[in-house]
Structure 1
Amino acid sequence: MTVHLPLIALVALVGYFGIKMLRPPLWLIVLLLLGGFLLADTFLAPAIESATQTGVNVLNHTTK
């Protein structure tokens, strides 16, 4: 049985339970979100995208 779950839903679910269980301070959550947003517009963005795609392929057992 194959379950198709959008990545954003998985990230939201992990984020929700992470915040509920670990109780990080609000400033840390904002800092991480802002840092990720700003990092996406740097020269590191292609490397992050490639690493993310490789991780998804490993989890899905797919190859190019």
Structure 2
Amino acid sequence: MSVSLPLVFVLGAFAWGAVKFLGVRTWVVVLIALFGFWLSHTFLAPAIEDGTRTGVTVINRTHN
């Protein structure tokens, strides 16, 4: 069985859980999100995308 969820939903649920149960401050979550957007516009973006795709492939056990 395969479930398809948008990454934004998964990250949002994780952030909500971190704020609710771990006591992480909301401004820290916002700061991390903004840093992620900034990081996506740097030279590291291709490596991050490749690593993310590889991780999804490993988790889903699919091959190209």
Deviation at 1:7, TM superposition (A): 2.2
1:58 aligned counterpart, secondary structure? helix
Q: C-alpha distance in 2, partners of 1:17/1:26?
A: 11
Deviation at 1:35, TM superposition (A): 0.8
Q: Percent identity among equivalent residues?
A: 45
- Scaled by the length of structure 1, what TM-score is found? 0.82
What residue number does 2:2 align with?
2
Find runs of 4+ consecutive structure 1 residues off by over 4 angstroms: none
Aligned length: 64
Asked which structure has the greater RCO (Cα within 8 Å, sep 6+), the reply is 2
